[in-house]
Structure 1
Amino acid sequence: MKSDEMLLNEQQQVTSDWFHQLRDRICQQFEEIERQAASPASFQVTPWQKNTEGYGIQTGRGIRSLMKGQIFEKVGVNISTVKGCFSPDFAKKIPGTEDDPHFFATGISLVAHMANPHVPNIHMNCRFLQTTKSWFGGGIDLNPSTPYAEDTAEFHQNLKTICDKHHPDYYSRFSEWADRYFDIPHRQTKRGVGGIFYDYLDSNFAADFAFTKDVGKAFLDIFPKLVARRQNRAANQEDFQRLAVYRGRYTEFNLLYDRGTLFGLKTGGDADAVLMSLPPMAIWE
């Protein structure tokens, strides 16, 4: 993605480059997990580019990377860098657009739906946005259809360690934010076992960017260990049934409540990239 062609400022360029590098590292590591399982699966890479007039993306490009394998039934790793102008209605929901609806956004989004019901599914997203203001957002949340207390505890402890490195209040704030955000009110349940979620982080660019980079690095440290722990555990029909029902709940949240899905579609992003988060198969009882 040659983001320099979009005439990015220094902050926009360095964040866009980092998300691109993180995407390469994740895809490489996930392909290695498949190779260790004697699977030939690899990411199918689809670049996209849009230049439009009016509301939405005026200039934007990204890469949609999708892999379907033996361990990862469906995993998508997307990056995008876009510039545009919010519609008047949508601009009301975004900080810094009171007098100027123009925006810049760059980020990475990942969703992994696993083949074995005992391996937790996971979501990770990191982003940098600029209007007349600028901020970072993102997080990681774990979505097992068969929860294991050991996995959940280790996952949260790793996130706490990363958060504590940057601020003593980050873990309590961002884990509580994740619990609120990943609520499915019409089901009176949560999506998954939590994680961290943060937005509008704008205290200091260098410090906030360092934290966001550590969130991405933490993902690479945490998730492969959980995959290795559970990927060979035998699963029965009841396990797969529970996985399919859980995926239905996941789909409901992403289509009804997820802000990232709404942002991508409202700003004219690539629809297939935006909706890559949906599972390959789900059921509703």
Structure 2
Amino acid sequence: MQGENSVQNELFERAKRFQENNPIVSFADLKNNNLCDQQFLDPVWKISSQKNGESAFSNNLLHTLLYVRNICKLSFNTIEGIEACSAKSWLAQEHNPERNLEGGGIMTVIRANHLEKSAVNMSCVWGPSYPALEGENAGKPFSATGVSLISHPRNPYAPIMHLNIRCIQVKDGNKVTTWIAGGADLTPMHNFEEDTVLFHDAMKKVCERNSNIANYEKYKKWADEYFYIPHRKEARGVGGIFFDFVKIENEHDFSLLLDVGQYAAKAYAEILSRRIELPYDEELAEKHLYWRGRYAEFNLVYDRGTRFGLMTGGNHEAIFCSLPPRVKW
């Protein structure tokens, strides 16, 4: 018992250090933070560079996405207590040569003691023909970049967490339309009310900080409707927020993407510190594998991000990172 308490206390301390060392940062102050890569050293900068040497994306957008990716990586490493993330770059032309796409991305995967399989992926692609789910933009030149996170803890009491943030631009002659999309949601097998409250409170703060374009009640309802498995007639998890096709005209609105990432990462680190060392038996572990099947079904059949990634010629290994490492039906 003393040993278990010692491990649990260490987890609490790690989560506490993560919170204290990484206070919420505003979009205006983002470039003063090392996690946004002020030195332009990350491979993403080269991946996003066009043939003329100019970036396909604004620096402010890439700094925002890099911060989110890096704060999520840091949260995973902090919880595990080791540098457990491995990164791998990919290029669109090499991965999918039959598509006339440029750019690529970086897969960052962790397979460790507590986090059986987690990933934080960032992609930056552009091309001459947008494969729109929204018909009015089909066939137009486009660029799309984003960060996606998925975490499948080993412990059945620790919830799955998913977040996605992305920005898409479509050109129609001299007109450029920009929109952002994303969200974050929690999927526990065993619902601890205090975890659900913590996560929803975090998402509410995200919307309050970005009230010029975000509405918590609307985005929460959107998540409840979106994260639903029709053939099972059940929700996928306890929700969070979800938004899509939010048109923006000011780069300051990237603040919504920034806040989704940093608030979700901080809330999830605290939740993991509470759950990943709870004792469980083989019966519950087996039940956990069957329960994960629901998550796989949703991602393969209904998830818009999966469909968009495949339609835009994305890296299928990165796209299917969202699937659980082990699952049963």
Higher alpha-carbon deviation: 105-114 or 45-54: 45-54
Unaligned 5+ segments in structure 2 are 1-43, 172-176
For the residues of structure 2 that align with 1:243 and 1:12, how far apart are their CA atoms?
42
For the residues of structure 2 that align with 1:149 and 1:71, how far apart are their CA atoms?
22
For the residues of structure 2 that align with 1:179 and 1:81, how far apart are their CA atoms?
29
- 1:3-43 Cα shifts (integer Å, max 9, x gaps): 4522335x5332123212321222122112111xxxx5611
Q: Return the match for 1:97 from 125, 131, 137.
A: 137
Aligned to 1:229: 274
> CA distance change for structure 1 residues 4 and 107 in 2, over 3 Å: closer, same or farther?
closer
Q: Would you say 1:84 and 2:127 are equivalent positions? A: yes
Higher alpha-carbon deviation: 73-82 or 209-218: 209-218
Query: What pairs with 1:1-285 in structure 2 (closer than 5 Å)?
Result: 1=44, 2-3=46-47, 5-6=49-50, 7-8=54-55, 12-35=58-81, 40=82, 42-51=84-93, 56=99, 58-86=101-129, 90-91=131-132, 93-94=133-134, 97=137, 100-132=139-171, 133-167=177-211, 170-284=215-329
**Aligned residues of 1:41 and 1:68 also touching (Cα < 8 A):** no
Post-superposition offset of 1:61? 1.2
- 1:98-156 Cα shifts (integer Å, max 9, x gaps): 5x522100000000000111111100100000013210111000011111111111211
Unaligned 5+ segments in structure 1 are none
> CA distance change for structure 1 residues 56 and 103 in 2, over 3 Å: closer, same or farther?
farther
Higher alpha-carbon deviation: 109-118 or 213-222: 213-222
For the residues of structure 2 that align with 1:225 and 1:243, how far apart are their CA atoms?
21
- 1:70-125 Cα shifts (integer Å, max 9, x gaps): 110000110010001336xx43x236525x52210000000000011111110010
**Aligned residues of 1:43 and 1:66 also touching (Cα < 8 A):** yes
Post-superposition offset of 1:157? 1.4
For the residues of structure 1 that align with 2:179 and 2:225, how far apart are their CA atoms?
20
**Aligned residues of 2:64 and 2:257 also touching (Cα < 8 A):** no
For the residues of structure 1 that align with 2:137 and 2:298, how far apart are their CA atoms?
27
For the residues of structure 1 that align with 2:146 and 2:101, how far apart are their CA atoms?
17
> CA distance change for structure 1 residues 18 and 54 in 2, over 3 Å: closer, same or farther?
same
Post-superposition offset of 1:184? 0.6
Post-superposition offset of 1:209? 0.9
Q: Highest relative contact order (Cα 8 Å, sep 6+), 1 or 2?
A: 2
Higher alpha-carbon deviation: 102-111 or 78-87: 78-87
- 1:186-237 Cα shifts (integer Å, max 9, x gaps): 1101111100001111144334211211111101221100001112111122
Q: How many aligned residue pairs are there?
A: 275
For the residues of structure 2 that align with 1:24 and 1:207, how far apart are their CA atoms?
20
Larger radius of gyration: 2
Aligned to 2:22: none
For the residues of structure 2 that align with 1:245 and 1:255, how far apart are their CA atoms?
16
Higher alpha-carbon deviation: 182-191 or 45-54: 45-54
**Aligned residues of 1:175 and 1:196 also touching (Cα < 8 A):** yes
How many percent of aligned residue pairs carry the same amino acid?
Answer: 35
Q: Secondary structure at the match of 2:109?
A: strand
Aligned to 2:25: none
